[in-house]
């Protein structure tokens, strides 16, 4: 799990149990930000560089025109990673 804040800052707070579960199951909590760094909007595009760089591929399920998801997809392409796209909302008929 890659944070847009310090790894000691649970954001959103409702994900506290998810964070605990990641650690219990041997996963990793990763952040490029120092401890205590708050989850500010400008941190998330920076976080996306880590996500794109450490992933073999990126799956885009849904994204707005100015979304962080598209930033991640662009970064993945720049890092020569695969980008996969679901062309429509598969939950709608």
pLDDT value for 91: 72
Counting Cα atoms < 13 Å in the Cβ hemisphere of 77 gives 9
**Nearest-CA neighbor of 51 among 32, 38, 67?**
32
At 93 the pLDDT is 62
The domain spans of the chain are 1-39, 41-93
Per-residue pLDDT of the chain (93 residues; tens, 9 = 90+): 899 999 999 999 999 999 999 999 999 999 999 999 999 999 999 999 999 999 999 998 887 777 888 889 999 999 999 999 987 766 766
pTM, full prediction:
0.77
> Two tokens at 68?
């962080």
Q: What is the pLDDT of residue 64?
A: 78
């Amino acid at each position: 799990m890659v944070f847009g804040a310090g790894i000691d800052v649970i954001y959103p707070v409702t994900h506290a149990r998810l964070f605990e579960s990641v650690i219990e199951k041997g996963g990793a909590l990763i952040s490029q930000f120092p401890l205590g760094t708050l989850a500010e909007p400008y941190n998330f595009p920076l976080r996306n560089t880590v996500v794109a760089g450490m992933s073999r591929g990126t799956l885009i399920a849904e994204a707005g025109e100015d979304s962080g998801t598209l930033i991640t997809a662009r970064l993945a392409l720049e890092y020569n990673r695969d980008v996969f796209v679901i062309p429509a909302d598969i939950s709608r008929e």
